[in-house]
Structures are given as C-alpha cells and as structure tokens.
Amino acid sequence: MKKKIYIAILLIFILLTSFSYGDEKKKVVLLLINEINYEDLYNLSAVKNLIDEGSIGFLNTRSSGGASAYKSYATLGAGTRAEASPTTISCFEVNDQTKNIYKRRTGADIKDNGIINIDIPALRRLNEAGDYGAIAGSLGQSLHNQNKKTAAIGNGDIQDDFVRLAPIVAMDEKGYVDYGSIGKEILIKDDTYPFGLKSDFSKMMDVFEQSYNQSDLVVIDVGDMNRLERYKPNLSDEMYIVQKQKILKDANDYINKLVEKINFDHTRLILLTPYPASDDIKTGNRLTPVIFYGDGITKGIVTSSTTRRVGIIGNVDIAPSIARYLHVDTNQMSGQEVRFIEKNDSFAFLMNLKDKIVSTSINRGPVLSTFAIFEIIVSIVALLFILFEKKINKNIILHFKNILLSTMAIPFVLLILPIFNIQNIFVTYILGIGLVSLIIYMIKQCSKNILDGLFMLSFITTVGLLLDILMNATLIKNSLLGYDPIIGARYYGVGNEYMGILIGSTLVLATIILDRFKISKIWSIVIFLVTILIIGYPKLGANVGGTIAAVAAFIFTSLRLFKIKIKLKQFVVIGIAVVFVVSFMAFIDIRFSKNQSHLAGAIEQIISSGPGAILLIIRRKLEMNAKLIGVTIWSKVLLSAIIILATLFYRPVGTIYKLSNKYPNLSIGWSGIVMASIVAFFVNDSGVVAAATGIIFLVMSMLYLTLFGLNKDS
C-alpha cells in the first residue's frame, strides 16, 4: 500500500513539474524601433525604466557591403553580415495568391497560414555573392529545426510601397514565419501623420498577445519612425520635431502596455535600433541603442566576444544570443552570445563612451591623412636632397635631419595621445606636434652615434606597442592610428595600421642593435619570438594576417642574419613555420579561449561550410584590397615608398651597396620589412594599409642614413 502511495506521489510530482516547465517555456520579444538614438529613448518613460534596470550598450550596425536598413535587418536574422535590397524582401501574409507566387519561384509548397517572403530565391543569391556568404533566415531556421515558432508584427509601409522588415529577422531559410501580422490591417489612415499613415497599436497589441502565447520568438517592428524619416524632406525643421515627438509618445504608450503583457520570469525583451538616423550618421555616429531586459539580465552593460569591448556589441551577436537563450544551434552564425556586466551608472558610462568613440572616428580621417601626406612630402624632399646634395645648403640638409626622425616618432605619439583624453582636433594637432618635437629634442640630446636616433625611435615604438597590447590594447583602442568601432572592421587586439608599424619597427630594432652595440644575434631572435607571440596570441594581438607576415619576415631575416642563403628550400621552411604557428594559435583559441577571436571564427566557418569558405575569405580580402587601393591615402604612401626605394637602387650610384656594407645587419632588417610588406599586402583585408605603415621605418631610416650616415665617422 505504501509503495503505491509513493508511486502516486512521484507521478503527481512529475506531472506538476511537466506543467510548470510548459508554463515557463522561454521566449524572446525583439522590439525594433528604427532610426532613433539613446537621447530619444531616454525621454520615453517606458524605455527609461528598461535602460535603468536592464543591460544596455551600443550596437554596431555594419552589414555586408554598403550600409542600408534592409541589410541591417537581414543581418539581425542571419547572425552574419548579410545582404538585402528592396527587391529581395517582399513579405506578405500567406494566401492563395502568395502561395502560388512562392511555388512558381521556388517549386515548394508552404502552409496555409503565416507570413512568407516571396523574394527568398533572390535574397539567397544576393548573399551567396556577398562578402560574407551569409545564410538569410538562419535564426528562424534554427528555431524551426527544434519545432519552435516565430512571429512578426508591424510594417513601415508607405502608401503602395511595402516595407515589411520584421519577417526578415524572424523567417527561416525558406522565408517563412509562423504567425503575426504585417499588412494594412495594422495601419490606421491619419492625415496628421507622415504619408497619412500610423501604426494601429491597439491591433498590434491584440496580435502580440496571440503571437506571444503561440511563439518562442516575436519580432515587432514599430514602423512609424521609418515613415517619418522617409517623409522628412517634406517637413520643416519645426514640424519634423513635432511629428517625431508625437510618434515617440505613441511608441512609449505601446511599450508601456507591451511590458505589462510579458512574463519576464521566462522572457527576454530586446529593444534595439537596427539602423541609425540620418542626423546621427551626419554627426559620425552609426552606433545605435540596444537594451536587454528580463529573464537572466543583470543591470549593467553588454559585451560580447565579437567586440571584447565593454558597451559595444555587433548586430551579428543578436541572433546567436537569442538562439542560445532558446537552446537552439548557432552553427551558421558568425556572431557570439551577448554577455552582461553589472554596472550601476551604465547610461552615463555609455554617453561618455559615445563621445570618445565619435570624436576618434571624426578626427581619425583628417589626422591620418595629414600624417600620410607629411610622410610622402618628407620622403620626396629627402630624396631630392640626396639627388641634388651638392646644390643645396648644408645647413638646410642638417636641420632636415630632425624632420626625417619626426616621421618615425609620430606613430608613438599617436599611441600615447589617448592618455590626455583630448577630443578637439585643433588641440590634438598642437599637442601631437609638441610631443613629437619634445621626443626629437630628447633624442638629439642623448644621441652619440648616427644610429642612436633610429635605435631610440624603434625601441620606444616597439616596446610601447607590445606593452600596450599586453595591457588589453587600452591605448590602441582609442588611438587615431588604431581602429574605429563605428566602422567595425576590428574591435580588439592590434589593427593593421599598428601591426605594420610594429613589424617594421621591430625589424629595425632587432637588427640595428647588432650594428650599434655588437651584441649576440640571439637577442634579435628573442625580440622576434616575443613579437610573434604578442601579435598572434588570441587574447593579445589576435591579428592572423599580422602573425603570418611577422613569422615570414622574422624567419626570413633570421636566416639571413645567420648567413643562410635563401633558396626554394628556405621558402618552404618559412611556409611550414607559418602554418604551424597559425595552427598553434588556432588550437589555443578554440580549445582554451572563452572569448574566441576572428581566427577561431574563421576555422569554425571552414569546418561548417567546407573548403569553399577559404575561397570566400581569400576573395573578400582581395576585393577589399582592390577597393582600398583606389580610395585610401595609404596606397599613395606605399606607391611613393616603392618609387623612392627603386630610385635609391640606381641613384646615387652605389648607395644601397654602401649602406649594406656599413650597416650589414640593419640592411638585412630592411629586406625583412620588404618581405613583411609583401606578405601583409596579400593576407590582410586592408593589406595595403599594413604594407604602407610597415614600410615607413624602412624608407625613413634608409633616407636618414643616406643623407647623414654615409661617409661620416660613427
């Protein structure tokens, strides 16, 4: 009897547990309000509470190719930078007509209800030809593979122009969404609103309640801001503000009611802006708000392995974060799960972060262009002085020595400028020039040998960069010669600009000490090994292209230092060494790193997509280089350097031969820089940049010693 009672109690417990589990099935509500910023959101009482109590940050909105709102929405659903266009996102609720069109285009049948993108074949082709090979609908497909349901609500329709972007996020690879409403039935005609249309929030709330009960993921697109931005050219500045305030008030009322309907014990609400407003783009800010609230979310700041930056995540991180929370796979996604860091003053922190990032982004172009043009002018003038030395006053040439050295001091000064927290570009120029002048003056006072200036500049540049990378690249992240999180090409480690500088300065440092101090060549090898480790280690430099260039150049230089002739066999050894080092770094990254770098992501992409992914990566790098050659000032720096080096080989006669005899080890270091620049050019997305910055220490030190080092006693 007791045994039967125990069995009955156990069965009741199991049933109650099952019902409890069913009631608490995890859900995600993704609320999209396009083209607004944090200042707009913080003025909405409903959203202010989410900001104050949730985990917040900035969203990098970069997609594949040129930016657009369509691509941003597609990227949210793909988890990889995706392509999309107005002709690839025709989404409609399923009826006989749309079923027939879909079958005519795909040969497949669909269910009798739901939402379908009838342009899915065109969207697939667009992404197959895109830079990143994204698979549109990866998020929805992962959910459908586990029998989970999706819903899409809302539209940004403009009269007869259908703008239904919510389904692009929620759909599967077939373009299908299970539930929702995206048609004219959720719009109200109102002549006081842009295009005479506004969202019917009452109807949208009814659809949400039904969809929330049926679905695991509900994507809501509040389209009124979309319509306002399209209508903006027709409005006066005053009426634009009036319309915007009215639309935001409507959105606030809707969000207040929406939050009341959500059970946050088992639901996450993610509110984000897929694409920035035109006014923000004009001011240089393409980062948009993202807010996580609800189940498992701590009050604070977001981050992810994609960016490794506190307060910034990528739009590619949204899909894998939803997928992980709902326990479905992320195999086809390049983004990483968002993590949450507790912080009390999160909003103030973000606003301060935004000011720094936007300032760096705006000032970066003018300052780097000035630096590049200065390098070109100085190198050309130096070459002319060399070619016409007998016709130029010796005192002028002597004073030019300091200007030549200053070109090699600028990268270090740009590295330390963030310490002063200067955002005004005029003050940046003044402070930068002052610091360069101070460094050159100190070098002049300390120099006893013609090589001392080159030694000290290569030393402070190399050591400064290596130490900063060891300390989480705090200075590089904020340097004008670092990388821009708004562009989103890189967020952590060492970027290609400083990677080129570091390899060039390291090669000069490791070889000039042999000519200057007559020490053992083992010290050069030690410097090379330390630099390779710091550039390539996934938790430090994390630059795969830089690792390849450094290994190739450093081994090439080491072999020559030990007087080993470079033949085919040696190039094979260099190739094997490159493969070994990169494989070792990949093993560490995949096996031991929680925050996996680009290298681990590339390896996983190759494993999941096959060898074709390698060709895609190579093609993307070549296309990026081809594009940059035509637009970046660094291509002019590289071209001028090549012309100057070619000239020095022939005029004055015997110049290179004399330099090689007088500075045999340094000249080998120069050949290593040439090797590094060639390799970096072909293995990096922005190889032209890495090659141009890497060659600075070669050209300037060669010009310096040609002008001041030959026929002088040292």
**What's the alpha-carbon Rg for the chain, to the nearest Å?**
30
- pLDDT given at position 20: 39
Q: What is the mean pLDDT of residues 433-459?
A: 94
Mean pLDDT of the chain: 89
Cross-strand pairs, 60: 314
Do 419 and 301 lie in one domain? The reply is: no
Q: pLDDT category, 598, cuts 50, 70, 90?
A: low
629 close to 687: Cβ distance less than 8 angstroms: no
Does the structure show a pLDDT above 90 at 238? yes
| Rounded Cα–Cα distance for residues 57 and 353 (Å) | 10
Going by pLDDT thresholds of 50, 70 and 90, the confidence category of residue 687 is confident
Alpha carbon 402 to its chain centroid, in Å, reads 37
- pLDDT at site 618: 63
Amino acid at 22: G
Same domain assignment for residues 310 and 388: no
Query: pLDDT confidence of 602, banded at 50, 70, 90?
Result: low
The CA distances from residue 429 to 182, 364, 371, 434, 484, in Å, are 52, 12, 11, 8, 19
Domain that holds residue 358: 354-708
Whether residue 8 lies inside any domain: the answer is: no
pLDDT digits (tens, 9 = 90+) for 511-564: 999 999 989 999 999 999 999 999 998 888 888 888 999 999 999 999 999 999
Given a cut of 90, is residue 284 above it in pLDDT?
no
Same domain flag for 408 and 478: yes
Q: For residue range 241-280, what is the model confidence (pLDDT) as tens digits? A: 999 999 999 999 999 999 999 999 999 999 999 999 888 8
425 with 543, same domain? Answer: yes
The two tokens of residue 365 are 């172009």
Average pLDDT over every residue of 388-413: 86
Check whether residue 470 and residue 451 sit in a common domain. yes
Q: Which of the four pLDDT bands, split at 50, 70 and 90, describes residue 603? A: low
What pLDDT is recorded for position 573?
93
d(Cα 669, Cα 505) in Å, to the nearest integer? 10
Half-sphere exposure of 430 (CA within 13 A, CB side): 7
Q: What is the distance between the alpha carbons of residues 36 and 22, in angstroms, rounded to a whole number?
A: 37
Per cent of the chain over pLDDT 70 is 90
Q: What is the pLDDT of residue 48?
A: 92
Q: Omega of the bond prior to 664 within 30 degrees of 0, cis? A: no
Q: Report the distance separating Cα 257 and Cα 706, nearest Å.
A: 75
| Domain shared by 358 and 276, yes or no | no
Specify if 136 maps to a domain: yes
Residues 377 and 299 in one domain: no
Top pLDDT among 109 and 710 is at: 109
Q: Which three-class secondary structure string do you get for 453-511?
A: HHHHHHHHHHHHHHHHHHCCCHHHHHCCCCCCCCCCCCCCCCCHHHHHHHHHHHHHHHH
Residue 15 pLDDT: 46
Tokens representing 403 are 């200007």
Average pLDDT of span 85-99: 93
- Is the pLDDT reported for residue 324 higher than 90? yes
CA distance 28 to 425: 44
Instruction: Please say if the pLDDT value at position 625 is more than 70.
Output: no
Asked if 329 and 145 count as a contact pair (C-beta separation under 8 A), the reply is yes
3-state secondary structure 377-405: HHHHHHHHHHHCHHHCCHHHHHHHHHHHH
Final residue before a domain boundary, out of 310, 344, 378: 344
Per-residue pLDDT tens over the stretch 101-131: 999 999 999 999 999 999 999 999 999 888 8
Same domain assignment for residues 263 and 376 = no
Does residue 325 sit in the same domain as residue 432? no
Q: How many residues does the chain have?
A: 714
Of the three residues 344, 365, 400, the one that is the final residue of a domain is 344
Residue 9 lies in a domain: no
Distance CA 13, CA 23 (A): 15
pLDDT of residue 606: 56
Examine the domain organization and report whether 376 and 318 are in the same domain. no
Question: Does residue 6 sit within a domain?
Answer: no
% residues pLDDT > 90 (the chain): 70
Cα separations (Å) of 446 from 351, 442, 460, 697, 707? 44, 6, 14, 20, 20
pLDDT band at 712 (very low <50, low <70, confident <90, very high): low
Give bridge partners of residue 179 from the DSSP assignment.
151
DSSP structure string for 187-203: EEE-TTSGGGEEE-HHH
E strand map for 26-121: 27-33, 55-60, 91-93, 115-117
452 within domain boundaries: yes
State the DSSP H helix or E strand holding residue 689, giving kind and residue range, or none if neither. helix 687-694
Residue 686 lies in a domain: yes
485 occurs within a structural domain: yes
Cα→Cα distances 665→521, 553, 563, 662, Å: 10, 14, 11, 9
Q: Assess contact for 29 and 262: CB atoms under 8 A.
A: yes
Task: Count the Cβ atoms, other than its own, within 10 Å of residue 120.
Answer: 25
Distances in whole angstroms, Cα of residue 101 to Cα of each of 72, 97, 140, 423? 26, 6, 22, 55
The rounded distance, in Å, linking the Cα atoms of 360 and 49 is 30
Claim to verify: residue 557 and residue 654 sit in the same structural domain: yes
Q: What is the pLDDT of residue 299?
A: 94
pLDDT higher than threshold 80 for residue 391: no
Indicate if 512 and 575 belong to the same structural domain.
Answer: yes
More confident residue, 179 or 707: 179
Residue type, 367: V
Residue 13 lies in a domain: no
Reply yes or no on whether the pLDDT at 329 is more than 80. yes
In which band, very low, low, confident or very high, does the pLDDT at 381 lie, cut at 50, 70 and 90? very high
At 6-65, the pLDDT tens digits run 555 555 544 444 443 344 689 999 999 999 999 999 999 999 999 999 999 999 999 888
> What is the arithmetic mean of pLDDT over 468-481?
93
What's the CATH number where 205 sits? 3.40.720.10
d(CA 589, CA 584): 9
Residues 6+ apart with CB under 8 A from 499: 535, 541, 543, 545, 546, 549, 680, 684, 690, 693, 694
Last residue of a domain, one of 317, 344, 371: 344
Provide the whole-model pTM: 0.88
Question: What backbone phi and psi angles, to 5 degrees, belong to 632?
Answer: -90, 145
Query: How many separate domains does the chain show?
Result: 2
* d(C-alpha 61, C-alpha 286), whole Å: 7
